[in-house]
C-alpha cells in the first residue's frame, strides 16, 4: 500500500513553464483532465495524479526532460503502456510521468544475426509480428503481450507462459540504451555475447525504472518451431497434479509451456471460452511440446506416459492447431473470465518451489474462509509461479482491504515456503511491504546503495521497488526468521 511521500515539494507552475520550453505543446500534458488517464497502471487500486505527463518523441527530448527534473529536484516515473500489475508506473503526486509511448518504431530486424533493434514503446507482440516473415520470433510472451511494451518488459523482467524453456526478458535482451537522471546516455550489454566490465544489463533489467530510462533495446530473436502440440491432463487431486509436474521434469523433459489451473479457475473459464476443460477435475495441466514434428511426437509420447503414471484421470492431445489454440484459449482468458464472475479481482504473483504447491493451495483455501473471499488459481507450474486471483467487490466497504490482506498473506507464505513475493510482475508499490519479509536490513541497504550509484538524488520512481528501513519497521507483519527479529536496530511504532 503506498503512503504519501512528503520528501518532494514541486512548484507546479514553474515546472510546467520549464517543460514547455523543451517540449512542443503536443508532447506535454498539464491539465488535470488530460492527466487523469495516467493516474494508475494495470493495478487500478492505487492512484495518484502527476503534475505533468511528458510524451517525448526523440532521445534528445528525454535527455532534456530528465536534466530539467534533475535540476528542479522533481520525481520522474517512466511509463510504457501502463499494463503493469504492481503499480510500478503509478505516478508520483509531486512528479512527472515520462511516457515512452511515442518511441514506437522498430528500427531494424536482422535476419542473419537474429536480432531486432526496437524503441521502448514498441509492443511486445509487434516484435514477433515484424520477425515472422523470417521465421523468427521474440520468445518472452507475457499475457498482456498485445498491449505491453518492450520498455516495460525490460523494467519488470517480464516472463510469460514459455519462460521455463525460453527464459525471461533478461535471457532475451542483448543490449539497452539508457538515459540517466542527469541526462547522460550509456549502453549496457552488447550485440556480442557479453560486454566488458560488470554485467550491468542484468542489473538494469527488472530494476523497475529506478536506475535509468530505456530509449532503445536490442532483442534476440529465435527460430519459430515448426510445430507445437499440447497435452491436456485432468487430475482429481491437486497434489497429484503437482507431483505430475515434478515427474515431467524428473523425466528430463523441459516443456515449452507447463500450466495448471484449479477447479474454480476452470469453472470460471469454461462457460466463457468453451475450451473443453474437465469441470469435475480438481486441477488440469496443459503441457506444450514444440520443435520438429519428429521431436514433438517423441516428447508428446513421453509426456503422456509420465502423466498416465502420475494418475491423470483424462489425457487429451491437441489434434490440430485449432484445437491447440482452444486448449490455450482458456488459460489465456483466465483473467477476463474471472473478471466476468466478480466485480473486481486482485491478481497475485508469488513464486514457490513446485513441490510446495499442494501446501500452498490448501493454505489459500483456508485463507478464503478467513477473509470471506473466493480465489481462483492459475499457475505457471513449470517454473513455480502462482497467480491466485482474489475476487472482491470494491463497492463493498472493507472488501478491498480484505483482498489486500489476503494477497499479502499469500506473498508472505511464498517467502516462508522458500519462494519469492514476485515472479514476473515486479514489486512496484504493491509488494513494497513484503520486500521487508523477503529481505533483511543488509540486503535492503545494498539495494539502496546500488540505487544511489545510478541515481544519487533518488528522483527516478521514488517510493517503488525497495522499501526504506523505517517503512519496514512500521510494517506490522515482519517475520521472525531463525529466531531473530528483522530490523532489530530500529524502533517499533
482 binds other proteins (CB under 8 A): no
Can you spell out the DSSP letters for 144-191?
Answer: TTTT-BHHHHHHHT---TTHHHH--HHHHEEEEEEE-TTS-EEEEE-S
408 binds other proteins (CB under 8 A): no
Contact window for other proteins (CB under 8 A) among 50-58, 194-202, 397-405, 469-477: 194-202
Instruction: In angstroms, give the least distance from the CB of 393 to other proteins.
Output: 29
Contact window for other proteins (CB under 8 A) among 162-170, 332-340, 369-377, 402-410: 162-170
205 binds other proteins (CB under 8 A): yes
Burial classification of residue 13, based on how many CB atoms lie within 10 Å of its CB (0-12 exposed, 13-18 middle, 19 or more buried): exposed
Instruction: In angstroms, give the least distance from the CB of 37 to other proteins.
Output: 26
Separation of alpha carbons 204 and 156, rounded Å: 10
Return the SS3 of 260.
Answer: strand
Instruction: In angstroms, give the least distance from the CB of 213 to other proteins.
Output: 15
484 binds other proteins (CB under 8 A): no
457 binds other proteins (CB under 8 A): no
133 binds other proteins (CB under 8 A): no
* 213 strand-pairing partners: 179
Separation of alpha carbons 152 and 150, rounded Å: 5
Separation of alpha carbons 177 and 397, rounded Å: 46
226 binds other proteins (CB under 8 A): yes
Among 276, 291, 311, 339, indicate the residue that binds other proteins (CB under 8 A). Answer: 291
Among 11, 34, 129, 294, indicate the residue that binds other proteins (CB under 8 A). Answer: 294
Distances in Å between the alpha carbon of 217 and those of 105, 189, 329?
11, 10, 30
443 binds other proteins (CB under 8 A): yes
Separation of alpha carbons 489 and 196, rounded Å: 39
CA-based nearest residue to 163, from 171, 155, 151, 152: 171
Instruction: In angstroms, give the least distance from the CB of 398 to other proteins.
Output: 28
132 binds other proteins (CB under 8 A): no
Q: Are 92 and 15 in contact (CB under 8 A)?
A: no
Separation of alpha carbons 68 and 73, rounded Å: 8
Among 11, 34, 129, 194, indicate the residue that binds other proteins (CB under 8 A). Answer: 194
409 binds other proteins (CB under 8 A): no
Instruction: In angstroms, give the least distance from the CB of 179 to other proteins.
Output: 12
Q: Rule CB under 8 A: which of 351-370 touch other proteins?
A: 351-355
Instruction: In angstroms, give the least distance from the CB of 126 to other proteins.
Output: 20
Q: Rule CB under 8 A: which of 230-249 touch other proteins?
A: 246-247, 249
Residue 25: DSSP 8-state? G
**Residue among 371 and 439 whose Cβ is closer to other proteins:** 439
**Residue among 163 and 230 whose Cβ is closer to other proteins:** 163
309 binds other proteins (CB under 8 A): no
Q: Are 19 and 72 in contact (CB under 8 A)?
A: no
Q: What cell numbers appear for 349 in the block? A: 504473483
Among 11, 34, 129, 184, indicate the residue that binds other proteins (CB under 8 A). Answer: 184
Instruction: In angstroms, give the least distance from the CB of 43 to other proteins.
Output: 15
Contact window for other proteins (CB under 8 A) among 11-19, 74-82, 328-336, 415-423: 415-423
Among 152, 423, 462, 463, indicate the residue that binds other proteins (CB under 8 A). Answer: 423
CB atoms within 10 A of CB 370: 12
Return the SS3 of 298.
Answer: helix
Q: Are 269 and 326 in contact (CB under 8 A)?
A: no
Among 47, 67, 102, 171, indicate the residue that binds other proteins (CB under 8 A). Answer: 171
Q: What share of the chain is helix, strand, coil (3-state, %, to 5)?
A: 40, 20, 40
CA-based nearest residue to 27, from 90, 98, 130: 98
Q: Rule CB under 8 A: which of 81-100 touch other proteins?
A: none
Contact window for other proteins (CB under 8 A) among 1-9, 72-80, 186-194, 401-409: 186-194
420 binds other proteins (CB under 8 A): yes
Q: Rule CB under 8 A: which of 44-83 touch other proteins?
A: none
Separation of alpha carbons 460 and 456, rounded Å: 10
CB atoms within 10 A of CB 142: 25
Q: Are 256 and 225 in contact (CB under 8 A)?
A: yes
Instruction: In angstroms, give the least distance from the CB of 353 to other proteins.
Output: 5
What phi and psi values does residue 360 have, to the nearest 5 degrees? -65, -45
17 binds other proteins (CB under 8 A): no
CB atoms within 10 A of CB 391: 21
Contact window for other proteins (CB under 8 A) among 68-76, 106-114, 118-126, 361-369: 106-114
Q: What cell numbers appear for 328 in the block? A: 490455450
427 binds other proteins (CB under 8 A): yes
Amino acid at each position: 500500500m503506498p503512503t504519501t511521500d512528503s520528501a518532494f515539494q514541486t512548484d507546479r507552475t514553474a515546472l510546467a513553464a520549464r517543460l514547455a520550453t523543451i517540449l512542443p505543446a503536443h508532447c506535454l500534458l498539464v491539465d488535470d483532465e488530460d492527466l487523469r488517464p495516467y493516474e494508475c497502471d494495470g493495478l487500478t487500486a492505487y492512484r495518484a495524479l502527476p503534475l505533468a505527463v511528458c510524451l517525448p518523441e526523440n532521445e534528445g527530448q528525454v535527455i532534456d526532460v530528465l536534466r530539467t527534473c534533475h535540476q528542479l529536484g522533481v520525481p520522474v516515473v517512466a511509463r510504457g503502456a501502463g499494463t503493469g500489475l504492481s503499480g510500478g508506473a503509478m505516478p508520483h503526486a509531486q512528479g512527472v510521468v515520462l511516457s515512452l509511448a511515442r518511441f514506437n518504431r522498430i528500427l531494424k530486424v536482422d535476419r542473419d544475426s537474429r536480432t531486432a533493434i526496437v524503441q521502448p514503446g514498441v509492443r511486445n507482440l509487434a516484435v514477433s509480428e515484424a520477425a515472422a516473415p523470417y521465421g523468427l520470433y521474440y520468445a518472452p510472451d507475457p499475457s498482456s503481450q498485445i498491449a505491453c511494451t518492450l520498455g516495460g518488459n525490460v523494467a519488470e523482467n517480464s516472463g510469460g507462459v514459455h519462460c521455463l524453456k525460453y527464459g525471461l526478458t533478461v535471457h532475451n535482451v542483448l543490449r539497452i540504451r539508457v538515459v540517466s537522471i542527469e541526462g547522460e546516455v550509456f549502453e549496457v550489454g552488447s550485440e556480442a555475447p557479453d560486454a566488458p566490465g560488470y554485467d550491468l544489463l542484468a542489473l538494469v533489467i527488472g530494476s523497475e525504472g529506478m536506475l535509468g530510462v530505456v530509449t532503445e533495446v536490442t532483442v534476440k530473436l529465435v527460430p519459430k518451431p515448426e510445430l507445437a502440440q499440447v497435452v491436456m491432463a485432468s487430475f482429481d487431486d491437486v497434489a497429484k497434479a503437482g507431483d505430475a509436474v515434478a515427474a515431467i521434469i524428473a523425466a528430463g523433459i523441459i516443456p515449452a509451456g507447463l500450466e495448471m489451473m484449479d477447479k474454480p479457475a476452470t469453472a470460471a473459464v469454461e462457460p466463457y471460452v468453451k475450451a473443453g476443460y474437465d469441470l469435475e477435475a480438481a486441477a488440469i495441466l496443459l503441457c506444450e511440446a514444440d520443435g520438429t514434428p519428429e521431436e514433438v511426437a517423441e516428447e508428446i509420447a513421453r509426456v503422456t506416459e509420465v502423466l498416465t503414471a502420475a494418475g491423470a484421470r483424462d489425457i487429451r492431445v491437441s489434434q490440430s492447431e485449432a484445437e491447440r489454440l482452444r486448449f490455450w484459449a482458456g488459460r489465456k482468458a483466465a483473467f477476463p473470465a474471472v473478471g466476468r464472475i466478480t466485480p473486481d479481482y486482485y491478481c497475485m504473483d508469488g513464486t514457490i518451489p513446485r513441490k510446495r504447491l499442494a501446501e500452498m493451495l490448501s493454505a489459500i483455501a483456508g485463507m478464503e474462509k478467513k477473509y470471506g473471499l473466493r480465489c481462483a488459481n492459475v499457475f505457471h507450474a513449470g517454473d513455480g509461479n502462482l497467480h491466485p486471483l482474489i475476487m472482491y467487490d470494491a463497492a463493498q466497504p472493507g472488501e478491498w482491504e480484505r483482498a489486500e490482506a489476503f494477497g499479502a498473506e499469500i506473498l508472505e507464505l511464498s517467502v516462508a515456503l522458500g519462494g519469492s513475493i514476485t515472479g514476473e510482475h515486479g514489486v512496484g508499490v504493491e509488494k513494497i511491504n513484503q520486500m521487508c519479509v523477503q529481505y533483511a536490513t543488509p540486503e535492503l541497504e545494498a539495494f539502496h546503495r546500488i540505487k544511489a550509484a545510478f541515481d544519487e538524488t533518488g528522483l527516478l520512481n521514488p517510493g517503488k521497488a525497495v522499501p526504506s528501513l523505517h517503512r519496514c519497521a512500521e510494517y506490522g507483519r515482519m517475520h521472525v526468521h531463525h529466531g531473530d527479529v528483522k530490523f532489530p536496530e530500529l524502533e517499533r511504532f
